[in-house]
C-alpha cells in the first residue's frame, strides 16, 4: 500500500453549521496510511489555532510504526481551517469533529485518539473526560478569567459582543459527555483546559487506557494544573514528562522552538503505548 499522505478530505457535518453560517460545518481530514492491512487507527487533534500539519512528525512516526492516522484541522480554530472567536471557545466542537471523522474514515483496526495542547483535551474528551459546568459558568459570567491564547489576542474583546443566549449555552455544551465508544485509548500531549476539568466526572467517565505526557518547562499549559491534573483524574493513567528539563510547549510545533529530542520521545512512547493497548 502507498505510504504517502492522502488528503486533505473535507467532510461536512449537516448537524452543525459553520461559524459564519454559510452551510454545514466542514471537518478537514488528512490521512497517513500504513502498509499494515489491519492497521489500528489514531485520530489526531492539533493545538489551539494550529494545524495537523504541525504534527506531521508525530503522524508519520505513527504511520511508519504501523498505524493509520487521521489528522483533523478544526474549523474556526486553525490557521488552515480559519480562525473565529467562537472557534476558539467552542471546545466541544473539536471532540465532535473527531467523531464525525470516524463516521467517514475507514478504520482497519481498533481506534485510538491523540492530541497536543487543546488537542490533548480533545483526545481526552472522546475518551470520556468531562469539563466542569460550574467552572465554565464562572468564565461566562465573568467571575473567573483565562488569558486569551497567544494565537488569538483579541479573543476576549470579541467574545464580549456575543449574543447572550449563545454565551448562556456554553456551560451545558462544554460539560456534556463527548465520549465516543469507538475510541479505545488516548494519548494526551501537554493537554490544556486542566483548570476546567471535572475531576469526579472524568474519573467516572474514562474507562479506557490513557497516557499523559508533558514538558517540564511548559508555561502555556503548565503541568501542575494541566497534564498532572489529567493524570490524577483519570484512573490508572500512565503519566510522565518528556524531553529535557528545559523543554517547553512550542518545541512540538514551532520551527524556532524545535525540540527534536522531545518529539522523538513522544513518537517512541506513543508507539509503545498504542501497540500495547490497540495491538
231-273 pLDDT, tens digit per residue, is 999 999 999 999 999 999 999 999 999 999 999 999 999 999 9
Mean of pLDDT over the chain = 93
Rounded to whole angstroms, the Cα distance separating 67 from 87 reads: 29
Instruction: Decide the pairing of beta strands 41-45 and 68-74.
Output: parallel
Query: What element of type H or E holds 42?
Result: strand 41-45
- pLDDT (mean) for 60-68: 98
SS3 210: strand
pLDDT at 95: 98
What contacts 21, CB < 8 A, 6 or more positions away? none
- pLDDT (mean) for 35-59: 97
Residue 11 contacts residue 26 (beta carbons within 8 Å): yes
SS3 194: helix
Say if residue 9 is exposed, middle or buried (CB neighbours under 10 Å; 0-12, 13-18, 19+). Answer: middle
State phi, psi for 27 to the nearest 5 degrees. Answer: -125, 110
Residue 39 contacts residue 112 (beta carbons within 8 Å): no
Find cell 522552538 and name the residue.
Answer: 257
State phi, psi for 191 to the nearest 5 degrees. Answer: -65, 145
* Range of lowest pLDDT (118-132, 145-159, 192-206): 145-159
DSSP code, position 50? -
Predicted confidence (pLDDT) per residue in 119-141, tens digit: 999 999 999 999 999 999 888 87
Instruction: Indicate the pLDDT class of residue 6, thresholds 50, 70 and 90.
Output: low
Residue 229 grid coordinates = 491534573
Residue 174 contacts residue 131 (beta carbons within 8 Å): yes
State phi, psi for 74 to the nearest 5 degrees. Answer: -85, 120
276: number of Cβ within 10 Å = 12
Query: What element of type H or E holds 133?
Result: helix 133-141
pLDDT at 243: 96
Amino acid at each position: 500500500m502507498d505510504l504517502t499522505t492522502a488528503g486533505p478530505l473535507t467532510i461536512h457535518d449537516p448537524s452543525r453549521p459553520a461559524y459564519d453560517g454559510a452551510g454545514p460545518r466542514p471537518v478537514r481530514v488528512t490521512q497517513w496510511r500504513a502498509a499494515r492491512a489491519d492497521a489500528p487507527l489514531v485520530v489526531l487533534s492539533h493545538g489551539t489555532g494550529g494545524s495537523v500539519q504541525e504534527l506531521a512528525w508525530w503522524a508519520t512516526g505513527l504511520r511508519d510504526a504501523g498505524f493509520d492516522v487521521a489528522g483533523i484541522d478544526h474549523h474556526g480554530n486553525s490557521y488552515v481551517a480559519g480562525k473565529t472567536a467562537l472557534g476558539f471557545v467552542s471546545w466541544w466542537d473539536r471532540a465532535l469533529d473527531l467523531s464525525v471523522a470516524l463516521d467517514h474514515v475507514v478504520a482497519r483496526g481498533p481506534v485510538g485518539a491523540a492530541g497536543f495542547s487543546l488537542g490533548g483535551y480533545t483526545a481526552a474528551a472522546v475518551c470520556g473526560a468531562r469539563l466542569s459546568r460550574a467552572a465554565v459558568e464562572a468564565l461566562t459570567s465573568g467571575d473567573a478569567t483565562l488569558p486569551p491564547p497567544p494565537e488569538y489576542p483579541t479573543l476576549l474583546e470579541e467574545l464580549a459582543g456575543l449574543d447572550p443566549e449563545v454565551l448562556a449555552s456554553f456551560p451545558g455544551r462544554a460539560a456534556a459527555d463527548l465520549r465516543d465508544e469507538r475510541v479505545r485509548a488516548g494519548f494526551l500531549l501537554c493537554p490544556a483546559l486542566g483548570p476546567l476539568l471535572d475531576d469526579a466526572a472524568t474519573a467516572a467517565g474514562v474507562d479506557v487506557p490513557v497516557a499523559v505526557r508533558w514538558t517540564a518547562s511548559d508555561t502555556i499549559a503548565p503541568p501542575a494544573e494541566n497534564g498532572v491534573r489529567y493524570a490524577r483524574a483519570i484512573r490508572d493513567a500512565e503519566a510522565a514528562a518528556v524531553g529535557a528539563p528545559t523543554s517547553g510547549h512550542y518545541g512540538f510545533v514551532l520551527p524556532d522552538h524545535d525540540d527534536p529530542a522531545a518529539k522523538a520521545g513522544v513518537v517512541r512512547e506513543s508507539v509503545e503505548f498504542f501497540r500495547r493497548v490497540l495491538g
